Chains A and B, each alone.
Chain A
Amino acid sequence: MAESTCRVLRDGALEGELAPALTIKDSILTPLSFHVFDYVLSQLSSYVLAGKSQSSGMVIVALTRSPSYYVNMLNSGGIDGVSMDKWHVLLQKLKGCGQIGSCPDSSSGVTVFRDVRNLEKLFSAVLELGKGIVGQGKDRFCIAIDSVTELLRDVPLSSLAGLLSNLRSHERVSSLFWLLHSDIHNTSTNAAVEYMSSIVASVESTAQLKSGQQGLFLLEQNLRKAKLRMRLKRRNGRVRLMSEEIHVEQSGVTFTSISSEESVAQTLVPKVHFNLQLSEKEQLDRSKVVLPFEHQEEQNGVATEAEKSGMTENSSRGEIIYLRDSDDERPDSDEDPDDDLDI
């Protein structure tokens, strides 16, 4: 569930531990990761505002969208200008790009960072801004990176990985999350970014393209609905898998749990070639069986000896059918272990 992921990010990191990091990844078929990103951002912001989270502030590194978008989003989410000091948007000026929108440099809460390739400077800038928000004490802040894909345009993977790991291991960082478009990168880059994160949320399409169907209809559908799969790495090494459906609506994004055949209670019984379960009739019959020594209580002294062939009783009662292995065996041999078998 997306909410539990937000709670994990809200709770942050323990002392001496790496901060939890979320990767939101999608592909061209289902470009809904921005919606998920916005959702996580607004959830975390509300937690920060309510004082419920470990972090007391947030730094947003905006590369794909302009800071005014984030300012507007936070404003519409109920965060007025007074408490805007808890958020800081760091805008990275894209190479070859002019003025982005109508974003003035001097607006409160927005800093323009011009050096695209120097990730060490970005790291220190983010830390400075974060410490500026939360103060010099022990408070932590969380970081949102608009898109790691944009960062990877200019820097090699090792620098980015170094940035992410240094951010995660810094003691003032509570949690971080970022966006990744998985089809733009090759598999090793995707694997490396997933390795750096503790939660991976991938947006996949629900509808399969069947032959004969209109591709356009499916494309449209994929813009409104998708499946979100999350893998959470927990501290003790167990991995939790979750799935949800995303619906994009006017007001935002809603998540519904999948009620289809996938979430059927998974039994731990392995698939083997014989039947381990009992049918209804079999269960009923089983409950009617009289166990070997039970009936001695009722009928005194009637001890039936083991017979050579199976016994038949009333067919309404359940029965135990005992067949001897071989018919030549003498029934009264001394070593007959079935002597006291009492059916």
Chain B
Amino acid sequence: MSTTTKARTSSFSRNPLAGPTSQIPGLKPGPNGAVFVSSGIPDLDRILGGGFCLGSLIMVMEDPEAPHHMLLLRNFMAQGLLHNQPLLYGSSSKDPKGFLGTLPNPMSPKDDKPRDRGTEQDKDLRIAWQYKKYSRENQLDSNHEFCSTFDLRKPLERQYFGGKHVDCVSTQDLTLDILLQRCSTFLAQNSRSGSSISCGGRIAIQSFCAPQCGYIDKDWDMLAFIKSLKGLVRASNAVAIITFPHSLLSSSFSKRWQHLADTLLSELAQLLTGYQEMVGFLGIHKVARMNTQVPLVLEATTFSIKLHKRRSLVLECLNQAPIDGASGTSYGTSSSCSTSTKQGSLDF
């Protein structure tokens, strides 16, 4: 840190972090002036280095056989509602409001037995630890915690569904222009300019290029929509997540869409006969990095999705190459990872 003498070694001085951001629930300041919002899944936040960056576009490549993107969306939307962040949900079905009924409720503290805090509950063992005060002690109120663990079996309580904050739109009959207009009006009414950073809201679009949408043959228009949405989101400090079934696009357009994403996730259905707890795989291909050129290098890019006690979503790093039970071949060779039989390569 620079000293207070007149002679400074550089002309740049580090700005103290703005006070308000640490007080707004739901926003967490990160390195390089980035601000994070939570994805609703604690493991995913940790893997991505804090959460979803404000101003970024997250794209999720759907597997036609797996419904895990719905889990991601549910957690994302529920977390936004918990933090009172405005939400716009676009779906390819005729009745998107129905999906809101499936959002999960945060787990109540009495059910939550965290996996890594077993020793604290051990009554006959007292550990005198010098650094205990630096670790997370308080169980904050779930509304003000940055990321809550959601109980997927309980629906979200009515109190979080404030009328003005939540908007639903069905993409089945709309044209892309109208959809873009809806998004921009939603973002305009929520964003504020000025020194205090606020969250412009969350946008979640499910199955963007599903076959029942009228615009699916307009490849270039869809690409333009995504680019415009990305610009809108960046300008108004919001977060947008778009899931799309990538196998229904032509490969060149699928690649273009993947390149447009700031953060790119993909899901994989699970064909295994063993591994009963795993319900699928999540691949992380790109992580958004704001205000820096240094990329985030992950230890692993494929994680298994498990349901802990059938209630909460848990992502775990895979320790060995998954084996395709159907054909009996393994995805990885002994030294490096080769391409799998049908989906893209899984990286470890």
Pair A239/B271 contact, Cβ less than 8 Å? yes
Restricting to A228-246, which residues have a CB under 8 Å from any CB of B?
231, 233, 235-239, 241
C-alpha spacing A160/B270, complex, angstroms? 29
> Is A5's beta carbon under 8 Å from chain B?
no
Q: Which residues of B contact A158 (CB under 8 A)?
A: 211-214, 216-217
> Is A253's beta carbon under 8 Å from chain B?
no
C-alpha spacing A114/B102, complex, angstroms? 40
Can you name the residue of chain A whose Cβ is closest to the Cβ of B70?
A237
Pair A270/B321 contact, Cβ less than 8 Å? yes
> Is A195's beta carbon under 8 Å from chain B?
yes
C-alpha spacing A156/B172, complex, angstroms? 14
> Is B153's beta carbon under 8 Å from chain A?
no
Can you name the residue of chain A whose Cβ is closest to the Cβ of B327?
A266
Looking at the complex, which one of B210, B269, B273 makes contact with A266 (CB distance below 8 Å)? Answer: B273
C-alpha spacing A63/B77, complex, angstroms? 43
Q: Which residues of A contact B292 (CB under 8 A)?
A: none
Given A191-B247, A268-B323, A270-B321, the answer on whether A237 and B328 have CB atoms closer than 8 Å is no
Restricting to A141-200, which residues have a CB under 8 Å from any CB of B?
156-158, 160-162, 164-166, 169, 188, 191-196
C-alpha spacing A266/B326, complex, angstroms? 7
C-alpha spacing A268/B320, complex, angstroms? 12
Looking at the complex, which one of B98, B217, B248, B330 makes contact with A191 (CB distance below 8 Å)? Answer: B248
> Is A272's beta carbon under 8 Å from chain B?
yes
Q: Which residues of A contact B321 (CB under 8 A)?
A: 270
Pair B95/A195 contact, Cβ less than 8 Å? no
Q: Which residues of A contact B307 (CB under 8 A)?
A: 236
Pair B326/A169 contact, Cβ less than 8 Å? no
Looking at the complex, which one of A169, A195, A268 makes contact with B211 (CB distance below 8 Å)? Answer: A195
C-alpha spacing A179/B279, complex, angstroms? 30
C-alpha spacing A195/B247, complex, angstroms? 9
> Is B190's beta carbon under 8 Å from chain A?
no
Q: Which residues of A contact B210 (CB under 8 A)?
A: 161, 165, 195
Looking at the complex, which one of B68, B102, B211, B326 makes contact with A237 (CB distance below 8 Å)? Answer: B68
> Is A273's beta carbon under 8 Å from chain B?
yes
Q: Which residues of B contact A193 (CB under 8 A)?
A: 211
C-alpha spacing A166/B67, complex, angstroms? 18
> Is B65's beta carbon under 8 Å from chain A?
yes
C-alpha spacing A191/B271, complex, angstroms? 19
> Is A271's beta carbon under 8 Å from chain B?
yes
Q: Which residues of B contact A162 (CB under 8 A)?
A: 172, 212
Given A169-B94, A237-B279, the answer on whether A272 and B334 have CB atoms closer than 8 Å is yes
> How many chain-B residues does the 8 Å CB contact rule pick out?
44
C-alpha spacing A192/B214, complex, angstroms? 13
C-alpha spacing A266/B210, complex, angstroms? 35
Interface string of B266-308 (1 = CB under 8 A from A): 0001111110000110000000000000000000000001010
| Number of chain A interface residues as a range | 20 to 34
Restricting to B196-248, which residues have a CB under 8 Å from any CB of A?
210-214, 216-217, 245, 247-248
C-alpha spacing A53/B187, complex, angstroms? 48
Looking at the complex, which one of B95, B102, B270, B323 makes contact with A238 (CB distance below 8 Å)? Answer: B270
Q: Which residues of B contact A165 (CB under 8 A)?
A: 92-93, 172, 210, 212
Looking at the complex, which one of B102, B248, B325, B329 makes contact with A16 (CB distance below 8 Å)? Answer: B102
Can you name the residue of chain A whose Cβ is closest to the Cβ of B275?
A268
C-alpha spacing A272/B332, complex, angstroms? 9
Q: Which residues of B contact A287 (CB under 8 A)?
A: none
B210 to chain A, nearest CB (A): 7
> Is A267's beta carbon under 8 Å from chain B?
yes
Given A237-B280, A266-B328, the answer on whether A157 and B95 have CB atoms closer than 8 Å is no
Given A158-B216, A192-B248, the answer on whether A16 and B101 have CB atoms closer than 8 Å is yes
> Is B140's beta carbon under 8 Å from chain A?
no
B270 to chain A, nearest CB (A): 5
Pair B247/A271 contact, Cβ less than 8 Å? no
C-alpha spacing A24/B214, complex, angstroms? 25
Can you name the residue of chain A whose Cβ is closest to the Cβ of B271?
A239
Given A16-B101, A237-B67, the answer on whether A157 and B269 have CB atoms closer than 8 Å is no
Can you name the residue of chain B whose Cβ is closest to the Cβ of A198?
B65
Q: Which residues of A contact B211 (CB under 8 A)?
A: 157-158, 160-161, 192-193, 195-196
> Is B64's beta carbon under 8 Å from chain A?
yes
Pair A195/B93 contact, Cβ less than 8 Å? no
C-alpha spacing A164/B93, complex, angstroms? 11
| Additional 18 contacts, C-beta under 8 A, given A166-B212, A169-B95, A271-B329 | A158-B214, A158-B216, A158-B217, A160-B211, A165-B212, A169-B93, A191-B247, A193-B211, A195-B248, A233-B66, A236-B307, A237-B269, A237-B305, A238-B269, A238-B270, A239-B65, A239-B271, A273-B334
Residues of A within 8 A of B (CB): 16, 156-158, 160-162, 164-166, 169, 188, 191-196, 231, 233, 235-239, 241, 266-268, 270-273
Query: Could you list some 9 contacts between A and B, CB below 8 A?
Result: A16-B101, A164-B212, A235-B67, A236-B307, A237-B66, A237-B67, A266-B325, A268-B325, A270-B321
